[in-house]
A and B are shown apart, each in its own frame.
Chain A
Amino acid sequence: MSFASAMARLGGTCISVDSVEASSIAKGETLADTVRVVSGYTDAIVLRHPKEGAARLASEFATVPVINAGDGAGQHPSQTLLDLYTIRQSMDLDGIEVGILGDLRYGRTAHSLAYALSLYDVALHAIAPKGLEFPEGLVHELSGRGMEVRNHHDVRRVIRDLDVLYITRIQKERFPDLGSYYDVASSYRITPETLQGVKDRLILLHPLPRVDEIDPAVDRTPHARYFEQSRNGVPVRMALLSEVMG
């Protein structure tokens, strides 16, 4: 939706294909063919796709610029640009402690943000339930870039050290039953009590939508920045669209 809003504000229009059923993919068309066809209708393609690497494949076949708007459990780079922008509104990106909390194994926003933060002097704390930690390959690559990832299973043990806490959704389908999901999800929920003793400048971010991972009472604290972060998606995506379309 924020890409559509960004395009409209730039004076352009969008052709949206919101579901597989509404596209030729339902008839068995490959993504490669779809992007070749859509390239003839548009000036840029913004692609969200359930398979990892879909946007890279699309860029090989498209004749117009392709923007990755999320590929499976892979990456979500435009979200990361607005995440970085939101942090920059509050503090410098160097010399800070950032916690990323939630489903780090399958969370594409978490992956892209971690990669981006490795370009800065950031201490990264990964806070995730067992089994949902960052993929081994990503940790390996971050390490190769000189970034050490510190792992935690309890947010309360680390939250007082943080300048930024990036919260992501823990998905029910990752657990064998609802009972174990609720057990884990409740222990990762951010409430006003969790925030006791944190740094004044701590900001809380979330790519949204949230479900239960942040208590609505937290919205009234000065730490909550997720709605501002969401709003930032429009100007950042306007800039991105302008950039790729000249």
Chain B
Amino acid sequence: MTPGQNRTLLVSQIKDGTVIDHITAGEALNVLTILGIAGTTSENLSIATNVASRKEGRKDILKISGRELRKEEVDRIALIAPHATINIIRDYEVVEKKGVTVPPVIRGVVKCPNPGCISNAKEPIESAFEVLGKELRCCYCDWMITKDIASHII
């Protein structure tokens, strides 16, 4: 940016809701999928992808108006956006700021790639994976997902 240019926000501030910042570049849409937010749901969304960032080089940002996400909800995104920060906004002010924590077990987020796994059968259960660093192990059949976790998101 050269001197004299106006500094403007890429997307406008929100009055109330949640801003998820420092999402790994390119993962914003996957984050929305994990949070269960789709075009058919009622949230007012702003999505910025591949935004320049001093810390990460590039990052994604999500602004969700009118909804304060709970920490348990947001922790589910830690697998694909481990450095994300959650800002709760009320009347344009950040009233709470927190990071994400990888839960020991994630439920209902990732589908087991093993077609013979009972979690893919018609049973009244959610998929469940134990989080082992950057890898996941199916709590039912022990199948390991060692790469490309995003492609297994339900």
Contact = CB atoms under 8 A, between A and B. Distances in A.
Interface residues of B, number: 19
Nearest to A53: B140
Contacts, number: 63
B104 to A, nearest CB: 16
A140 B146 contact: yes
Contacts of A74: 116, 141-142
A21 interface: no
Interface string A35-73: 000000000000001111110110010000000000111
Contacts of B142: 52-53, 74-75, 137-138, 141
A141 B144 contact: yes
B114 interface: yes
Given A51-B121, A52-B141, A57-B118, 6 more contacts: A50-B116, A52-B117, A53-B118, A57-B119, A71-B141, A73-B116
A52 B123 contact: no
Interface residues of A, number: 22
Given A53-B141, A57-B125, A31 B118 contact: yes
Q: Which 4 residue pairs across A and B have the least CB separation, nearest first? A: A53-B140, A137-B144, A52-B141, A53-B141
Contacts of A50: 116
Interface in B103-132: 114, 116-119, 121-125
A136 interface: yes
B124 A51 contact: no
B80 interface: no
B140 A52 contact: yes
B140 A56 contact: yes
B123 A57 contact: yes
Given A51-B116, A51-B117, A52-B114, A31 B123 contact: yes
